[in-house]
Amino acid sequence: MSRVNFASHPFLLGFESLDRLIERTAKSGNDGYPPFNIEMKSEDSYRITLAVAGFREEDLSITVEDAQLVIRGKQNEEDGSERVFLHRGIAARQFQRSFVLADGVDVKGASLDCGLLHIDLERRRPEPVVQTVKITPGQG
């Protein structure tokens, strides 16, 4: 049985990479941690907000890798700490959260405020392109 995908439609030429992107995104099963919001601030700007209580700036990294926004968090255990927990419900849990960015979407900045990591994105508007193709006489 062959797999049917949207990129196999005859009017969609060159969208094979988009089909692979959708497949890759579907396979990346995030466990829901940390929780996040995605907000549309205007027609061309977005904000992703992650709840990262307990993380400091130096515990977080934000990178763009192969059209994916990747946010990683890893808390360092305090060295030399003689703390004794009777109950430990707040774990120093590491995470990685990925978001696929469309062409022309850039990360404009990030800020950490009251345990919320805000990442601002902006879409560049491409200039409209009109191309005229000259028809040359055929050879046969």
Q: CATH code at 19?
A: 2.60.40.790
Residue 13 maps to a domain: yes
pLDDT of 79 reads: 55
Residue 103 maps to a domain: yes
| Tokens read off for 85 | 């927990």
How high does pLDDT run on average in the chain? Answer: 85
- Whether omega for the bond prior to residue 34 falls within 30 degrees of 0, making it cis, is yes
Q: Residue ranges of the chain with pLDDT lower than 50?
A: 1
Counted domains in the chain: 1
Residue 138 maps to a domain: no
Residue 70 maps to a domain: yes
Q: Which helix (H) or strand (E) holds 96?
A: strand 95-100
The reply to whether the predicted model has a pTM over 0.75 is no
Residue 82 maps to a domain: no
Distance CA 62, CA 77 (A): 21
Residue 15 maps to a domain: yes
Residue 118 maps to a domain: yes
